[in-house]
Amino acid sequence: MSTPRVARRYAAALMATAETPKQLAAIGEDLDRIEEVLKGSRELLLLLHSPVVSPRKKTAVLEAIFGTRLSTVTSTFLRLLVAKGREDQLPEIIVQFRTLRDRQEGTIPAEVVSAVDLTGAQQEQLLRELEAFTKKQVRLRRSVDPAIGAGLLVRLGDTVLDGSLRRQLERLRERLVEGAASPA
């Protein structure tokens, strides 16, 4: 079975275990926390993908890292993944979980990349403007990338709104090159 298909099934099963919207939100927060740790630890990803490391050792490592910081449902789910040999699917399961949750809630995920961290007021204003643009509820996921120079890069599904300084400079360069290449 292909990776996205397996991940979607596990994500759907995890969503089905949430009995209340509050519990679903807690699972979502747990998965955000897990994803953050996975992104910051190449060693943990390698451990989860390793067929040499025993399931007992993988479970012990996950429990040592997350301890009681995860809900009971999420902790049980992680143990189930390891027992079934699907722990290597965890990053894709997180992606699929978000997709299913957003579809269920009628929410559009928006990834916002800025050169500096946005203030609370800036985030609220951006959220209002994106919701007015899409006419739907928007869930912001923020990150900082100084390489964009200034401005914002927003991904709404397949749509990219690139207002970064880097992109504006690229456009200016393209226009200058076109102007220099065309006969006067």
Digit-coded pLDDT (tens) for 19-33? 888 999 999 999 999
Which residue ranges of the chain lie beneath pLDDT 50?
1
Q: Which of 73, 102, 131 is the last residue of a domain?
A: 102
Q: Which residue range forms the structural domain that includes residue 125?
A: 106-181
The confidence score (pLDDT) of residue 183 equals 66
User: Is there a single domain that holds both residue 83 and residue 114?
Assistant: no
The residue among 24, 31, 34, 160 whose CA lies nearest residue 105 is 24
Dist CA 112 CA 154 (whole Å): 5
Rg (CA), the chain: 21
Please tell me the pTM assigned to this model: 0.72
The confidence score (pLDDT) of residue 1 equals 46
Instruction: List the CATH number of the domain containing 67.
Output: 1.10.520.20
